[in-house]
Chains A and B, each alone.
Chain A
């Protein structure tokens, strides 16, 4: 890992620049939350204003780690999206879904539980949005065949996707952002977060089973419909499927070892995307590349610049000092505050801008606490680590709280509505909010035990 230069936060003065940056930051949040203007448009315009009003100069915005666009995040997202876009048309996901529905013997409850597990695993290895985008249509198809209400299935999948995505560096955008800023590798996420995610998933499956076991039973005739399906007919392009799986495996192995070989995750992913493009003989890369979610990518870029503005003028430093004063420098209290605040905030506000703001805030806290340390010695200070994990757990799991808390939820609700099944805000919340409270409570106990009780022994 390279040593990061200490953020060159200006000495804190409430000058014109300070107020300009702060006003832009607050206006951006208000615009994103009220959804009057598309969030990508807000972020691009906000970034333009930050530059034109000289809060940041172009060098700050494009070429510095402390205030500018986080290219690790951008290229990791672009590369993973490219890989998934190349694998998607092969029919792999549909094959797995039908195969597991048959494995569930056509019984709705078993299918619901198996799909929850598949969603969690896929979400850990790919991004959540892709996972639900691919599984929700098959879920609707299976629910139609079984003549059951698809809504509980879809909600369970969205929740499982946010829980599963918490487990790895690439699982959920907050983790990608935290990994990049805190210079944490793939295996640190796996060893610190995956254990508690597995516990949460088991508890989640038990809760789902208790909730739905009474309401889901169908006749043998309907189960036969599932058993009569031929999952092999879902496979469109076998050769491409194997190439895709080969590269995906290679990329995952690369992630496991990237820390050891001193590669950033984005380098591994970009190599994988390039390799798959080459071996797939893609003659029309513009089609594959057009399917990258460019609005999301531009949202990230704009956001990084606007937040870079408030980091540079010292607003974030000011807030971090206030937070530390509030928790009296007690790091257990700070961890718990960060986790619960992140969860509630992420349930109602997009967790991407939230984490983009929290990352520099935590780094600034570290500067307050250990003024003599620099680079990874500072970022990986043993007392600071639980804060990163609390931020990751809170902001990823908080997404489950409401229908707008995470992109996966928004997609599931949208897709259900298109198919004539409206999921109201309250209906989603009736499942999502208690699950969020439960999983965050499990996380809080986990962080307390693992980093404060047993660490101290």
Chain B
């Protein structure tokens, strides 16, 4: 049977609103349910009041947000920093809102899409996870890099047993 994205995706149990503070969002991610019985997520979907996907907050977005914009500029900073800079910058973001630091241009996929299409998106955009959404942008699930990896493993094992 040919698998579709909806066959390999995982359920979405927790989401956040863009007005949540980063501090609360981080707390929420620590206890969020990935699968029944498994807790802690590294990325969480951001929904507007209407229940539509408007962003994605991942540990990468949080890390990026503690780096000041000027360090991403043309200037070469080398190993310049002052003692305690990392912690200082980390504490500065806690009262920001999720809406300020989330990835706003979320790449999503339809549940009907093929695994090939899904693999292309994950690799091309260097992603770990893709929200699966309805045509009007409501979340149905999340497909992770590991889900496609399991699909590869399954496929290889199946071919082996067929022989």
Question: Could you tell me which A residues sit within 8 Å of B by CB distance?
Answer: 88-91, 93-94, 98, 133-134, 136-138, 140-141, 144-145, 225-226, 228-230, 233-236, 415, 418-420
Contacts and interface: CB of A to CB of B under 8 A. Distances in A.
- State the main secondary structure of chain B at its contact with A: loop
Q: Which of A93, A133, A138, A141 gathers most chain B CB within 10 Å?
A: A141
Contacts of B76: 88-91, 94, 234, 236
Nearest to A89: B76
A229 B75 contact: no
Nearest to A90: B76
> 5 tightest A-B contacts by CB?
A225-B82, A137-B70, A137-B75, A140-B70, A233-B79
A415 B70 contact: yes
Interface string B53-86: 0000000000000001111011111111111110
A141 B77 contact: yes
Contact of B80 (A234, A418, A419, A420): A234
B70 A235 contact: no
A233 B80 contact: yes
A138 to B, nearest CB: 6
Interface residues of B, number: 19
Given A88-B74, A94-B75, A415-B73, A141 B83 contact: no
Interface in B83-122: 83-85, 88-89
B80 A98 contact: yes
Contacts of A140: 68, 70
B58 to A, nearest CB: 21
Given A145-B85, A419-B68, A137 B79 contact: no
Contacts of B84: 225
Contact of A141 (B71, B74, B79, B88): B71
Interface of B: 68-71, 73-85, 88-89
A225 B88 CA distance: 12
Contacts, number: 68
Contact of B70 (A88, A91, A228, A419): A419
B10 to A, nearest CB: 35
B80 A141 contact: yes
Contacts of B82: 145, 225-226, 228-229
A141 B78 contact: no
A418 B85 CA distance: 20
B80 A94 contact: yes
A144 B68 contact: yes
Contacts of A225: 82-85
Nearest to B89: A144
Contacts of B81: 229
A88 B73 CA distance: 12
Given A141-B77, A418-B70, A419-B68, 17 more contacts: A88-B74, A89-B76, A94-B75, A94-B77, A94-B80, A134-B75, A137-B74, A137-B77, A138-B75, A140-B70, A141-B68, A141-B80, A228-B83, A229-B81, A233-B79, A234-B80, A415-B70
A124 to B, nearest CB: 21
Nearest to A226: B82
Given A145-B85, A225-B83, A228-B83, A137 B71 contact: yes
A137 B88 CA distance: 18
Contacts of A226: 82
Contacts of B85: 144-145, 225
A418 B76 CA distance: 18
Contacts of B80: 94, 98, 141, 229-230, 233-234
Contacts of B88: 144
A410 to B, nearest CB: 15
Contact of A235 (B69, B75, B78, B83): B78
Contacts of B79: 230, 233
Q: Which of B79, B80, B84 gathers most chain A CB within 10 Å?
A: B80
16 contacts: A88-B76, A89-B76, A91-B76, A94-B75, A133-B74, A136-B70, A137-B71, A138-B75, A141-B71, A145-B85, A225-B82, A225-B83, A225-B85, A226-B82, A229-B82, A236-B78
Nearest to A236: B76
Contacts of A90: 76
Contacts of B78: 91, 94, 233-236
A3 B75 CA distance: 44
Nearest to A141: B70
Contacts of B74: 88, 133-134, 137
Contacts of A145: 82, 85
Contacts of B71: 137, 141
Q: Which of B68, B69, B70 gathers most chain A CB within 10 Å?
A: B70
B83 to A, nearest CB: 6
A133 B71 CA distance: 12
Nearest to A130: B74
